[in-house]
Structure 1
Amino acid sequence: MKQTLPAVALLALALSACGDRSPAPAAGPETDARTPQAADPAPAGSPPVQAAGTDAAPASAHAPGTNIPQVVDGVITFDGFGPAAFGGTEEDVRMSWGNDLGDAAPSEPGGCYILKPQPIGTTDYRLGFMIEGDRFVRIDVRNEGYTAPGGGKVGMDRAEIERLYGGRVEASPHKYVEGAQTLRVAEGDKALVFETDAAGKVTEWRIGVPPQIDYVEGCG
């Protein structure tokens, strides 16, 4: 399957490509205009550029076995995913992602289901968009490439989460994992929830609206 970046990531790449529009130098006596010239080196830190006429995305662009970009910051907010706002439709989410999200559907009208980037290779997933009541209500993240609003990420420890979010963290024991914690940060009518393991490391996080943000079992 051809893999491409989500629409929001493609927009960022397109904007970065609009920087230098200086005209190319005219061919001179020592330069044959028909001879290809070497491209200017890319600035340090620039994303890898796909060669013209090729279909494959750069090998480093996606997490292994998925079409999820390895590093995307700022696309997930308390409002939603890019232009897809919480409370919007499934189609809003699909358009914002800009790639295959599978064919999940509710078992009954208005039921809960999760759109997942394809292919995932296993029954697990590292990014999911929850739909319930025909509305986009939550994002689940198990991918350390995505940063939560405020700076939290998978792999951080509880102390760092508490430092990032000040006195806003409401901690409680995990429902299923002994010694693990659930760290909840409220933001108006939305919330951000980090789950840790028994060692205090964040294993996943989710963001969205009540009551779905507090579903421990997801749609289960």
Structure 2
Amino acid sequence: MIRIATLGSVALLGLSACNAPEPAPPPAEPAPAPAKPARPPAANTLTPEGFGPLRIGMTRAEIAAALGEDANPDAVGGPDPEACDMFRPTRAPEGLLVMVEDGVLTSVQLTRNTSIATDRGLSVGDTAAEVKQTYGSAAEVSPHKYIEAPAEYITVWTTGDHASAAARGVRYEIDAEGRVQRISVGGPSIQYVEGCA
């Protein structure tokens, strides 16, 4: 009788061990913070596709219809204005320039104007740290061509292609104080460091 009771106890212990919860796995490493998503563009927002009514790929005539002719037609925007020209349309906000290459809008640039933001909410005057935090691992950082660090370029591409006319991106030029001094949006021309070059 004692033997049967002992066997029954052993069997119950074996069954309860089968139903015991497994030990909890070790805590996982925290995942890197994802990039903040783009907000739907407002009327006066810089996006990789342009600004307001300006869309990368528009003709010069379409730019003029959207925001007016060159506000300063006597200024020379490039060494060969027929091949590449930069200007501010008459109805464009202060500090906003367009780049037209071979008659087509290839980029929009913003300087000095802190009232205009990108679709990620970044403006001229924001810090490089804010830009990098906003885009996360999508931000490509390269040294500034003329100014020592912390000056740099932070470029983010929305397409895998960075060289053809279909490429789209945004580039933040960071000054010697570590702040955004220029924002360029559009195609491969956002990589130019000095006007049309």
TM-score grouping bracket, smaller chain normalisation: 0.5 to 0.7
Please name the residue that 2:186 is paired with. 208
Alpha-carbon offset, residue 81 of structure 1: 2.4
Corresponding residue to 1:135 among 82, 86, 104: 104
What RMSD, in angstroms, separates the aligned Cα atoms of the two structures?
A: 2.5
Please name the residue that 1:186 is paired with. 157
- Deviation beyond 6 Å, 4+ runs, structure 1: none
Please name the residue that 2:136 is paired with. 166
* 1:1-220 equivalent positions in 2, closer than 5 A: 74-98=44-68, 101-103=71-73, 108=80, 110-117=82-89, 126-142=95-111, 143-179=113-149, 180-188=151-159, 189-210=167-188, 212-219=189-196
Q: Which runs of 5+ in 1 are unaligned?
A: 1-71, 120-124
Alpha-carbon offset, residue 73 of structure 1: 6.1
User: Could you say if the C-alpha distance between residues 81 and 93 of structure 1 is closer, same or farther in structure 2, counting changes exceeding 3 Å?
Assistant: farther
Alpha-carbon offset, residue 110 of structure 1: 3.8
- TM norm structure 2: 0.64
Separation in structure 2 between the aligned mates of residue 108 and residue 162 of structure 1, nearest angstrom: 35
- TM norm structure 1: 0.58
Separation in structure 2 between the aligned mates of residue 135 and residue 117 of structure 1, nearest angstrom: 14
Structure exhibiting the larger radius of gyration computed from Cα positions? 2
User: Could you say if the C-alpha distance between residues 219 and 174 of structure 1 is closer, same or farther in structure 2, counting changes exceeding 3 Å?
Assistant: same
The one-letter code matched in structure 2 to 1:183 is I
Give the conservation status (yes or no) of the 8 Å contact 1:171–1:183: yes
Separation in structure 1 between the aligned mates of residue 140 and residue 120 of structure 2, nearest angstrom: 15
Q: Secondary structure at the match of 2:118?
A: coil
More helix by share: 2
The one-letter code matched in structure 2 to 1:111 is A
More strand by share: 2
Alpha-carbon offset, residue 166 of structure 1: 1.9
Alpha-carbon offset, residue 109 of structure 1: 7.0
Identity level (%): 32
The one-letter code matched in structure 1 to 2:158 is E
Alpha-carbon offset, residue 84 of structure 1: 2.6
Q: Secondary structure at the match of 1:165?
A: helix
